[in-house]
Amino acid sequence: MAVEILTPVPVADLIARRRHGRYYATDGYLSSDEVAHAWPVVWHYDTVVRANGVDTKRASATGTYGTTTWTEYRAGDVQRVADAIADGTAVLEPGWRRDTEQGQELLHQARREERRRRARALAFRSAASLLVVLACLGFVVFAATH
């Protein structure tokens, strides 16, 4: 099973690519998308973060629709782990990698589970919406006949 793995991008390059006027993680930290570019061989990021002692912090923003939270990753730790992945010293199980058979199988399984979870959530929201519409129609019919 041949899988093309992109070349890792050094953390300093990721930070240098940031464009003015766009939101990025706090200075000294990276977003999950940036971590993905630094560790392209990894698919199970949270596990690798914990196993290799990457410092993280929760960030949040409050807007019209409520508060959104996300995780930011200390840039120095991400680079340390990227270097360790490159020289084979990182704590990195085969199931956490994109370039192993076991990792590919676990990645596909995780994607299937995520699709099922989203389908169940959509079905639940659809059923709830249908019940609201039927209740409103029932109320209109009741009000019109009495």
Same domain, residue pair 3 and 73: yes
Task: Note down pLDDT in tens along the chain; length 146 residues.
Answer: 566 667 788 999 888 888 887 788 888 999 999 999 999 999 999 999 999 999 999 999 898 999 999 999 999 999 999 999 999 899 999 999 988 999 889 888 988 998 999 999 999 899 999 999 888 888 888 888 88
Residue 95 confidence (pLDDT): 93
Same domain, residue pair 91 and 104: no
Domain that holds residue 15: 1-98
Same domain, residue pair 82 and 109: no
Give the count of domains, the chain: 2
Same domain, residue pair 134 and 77: no
Residue 111 confidence (pLDDT): 85
Same domain, residue pair 106 and 93: no
Same domain, residue pair 90 and 34: yes
Same domain, residue pair 59 and 72: yes
SS3 114: helix
Same domain, residue pair 22 and 87: yes
Residue 77 confidence (pLDDT): 97
Residue 2 confidence (pLDDT): 60
Q: With b meaning 16 or more CB within 10 Å and e meaning fewer, what string describes 21-58?
A: eeebbeeebbbeebbebbbbbbbbbeebbeebebebee
Same domain, residue pair 29 and 2: yes
Same domain, residue pair 132 and 66: no
Same domain, residue pair 86 and 131: no
SS3 20: coil
Smallest CA-to-CA distance from 14 within 25, 4, 2, 3 is with 25
Residue 142 confidence (pLDDT): 86
Residue 3 confidence (pLDDT): 62
Rounded distance between C-alpha atoms, residue 42 and residue 86, angstroms: 12
Same domain, residue pair 5 and 77: yes
- Kindly report the pTM of this predicted structure: 0.73
